[in-house]
Structure 1
Amino acid sequence: MTKPTVTIRDYNPKWVEKFTKERNRIIEVLGDKVVAIEHIGSTSIKGLAAKPIIDILVGIQKLEEIDQLVNPLKEIEYEYVLKPELKNRKFFRKGEWGKGTSHLHICEYDSREWIEKLLFRDYLRLHPEAAQEYEVLKKSLASVYKHDRQTYTKKKEPFIKNIVERAKKER
């Protein structure tokens, strides 16, 4: 199996349309299990270069309900990926391993996980200079860790945590 590469693309306004299409399909198969659904990640920040993968955050009442969601999501091509390191959310991928087109993050609505993901997104939307700084970091990491997506992701964590802390102070 070849390692997934990290490829950063210029912002594409079609990412919003792709999110809307996926959101509608997810709501169609999950119905009232969905409390809320949000477009997150770099593709949700207008003007920000990103890996061309749509990140979707789905808020549900209780994370224990996840087993009831696996088969309906499989019907629309989302594969549950067991990631034991993720304690407060569950992860689904659409597309081949390493070439996913959408990532689905499911957590409890209004949990710390939910709130912090939205704080990060909203801060970057409101602070173009921070979004620009994030883009520079991502491009730099992508050139160094082109064939090591795990390390690429790990190296972004301090920046993300810093932005979340800044956003909490501004609330």
Structure 2
Amino acid sequence: MPSIYTFTEYSPDWPREFQREAARLRALWGDEVFAIHHVGSTSVPGLAAKPIIDLLPLVHNIERIDAFNDAMTAAGYKVWGEYGLPGRRYFTRDADGVRTHNIHTYAQNSPEALRHMAFPAYLRTHP
């Protein structure tokens, strides 16, 4: 069965929700985290979007993130591994069966990470 997505008007809660989720990831992964970026359509002020917060953690060593899979599961995340993109570690979090967060994790120097950051950057400069 295909997923049904709903789009909503921009919410000023989205940046705060990003900050809360980023803090959770930093608490779980500690010093492995280099930076965490808010990406995707919810990161663009004023843009209607699917109300799913996309996070882009950049880490020092992507392979070491696998050691946190049990902790991520215990914290309510679903662990997907690379999920079709070599070098990525993908996690999701749902609330009441509805997707709320996508976490696309890459090594800090990954070209794929730059692609994820380029999309919202373009939309912010080309409203």
Structure 1 match to 2:17: 18
Structure 1 residue runs of 4 or more that deviate by more than 3 Å after TM superposition: none
Structure 1 residues 6-155: aligned runs within 5 Å: 6-82=5-81, 84-95=83-94, 99-128=98-127
Contact 1:4 1:99 (8 Å CA) reproduced: no
Q: Normalising to structure 2: TM-score of the pair?
A: 0.90
Q: Which amino acid aligns with 1:45?
A: V
Alpha-carbon distance between aligned partners in 1 of 2:119 and 2:125, rounded to the nearest angstrom: 10
- Structure 2's unaligned 5+ residue stretches are none
Alpha-carbon distance between aligned partners in 1 of 2:4 and 2:83, rounded to the nearest angstrom: 23
Q: Normalising to structure 1: TM-score of the pair?
A: 0.68
- Structure 1's unaligned 5+ residue stretches are 129-171
Q: Which amino acid aligns with 2:119?
A: F
Higher helix share: 1
RMSD of the TM alignment (CA)? 1.9
Higher strand share: 2
How far off is 1:52 after superposition? 0.4
How far off is 1:99 after superposition? 1.9
Q: Give aligned pairs, total.
A: 127
Between structure 1 and structure 2, the one with the greater Rg is 1
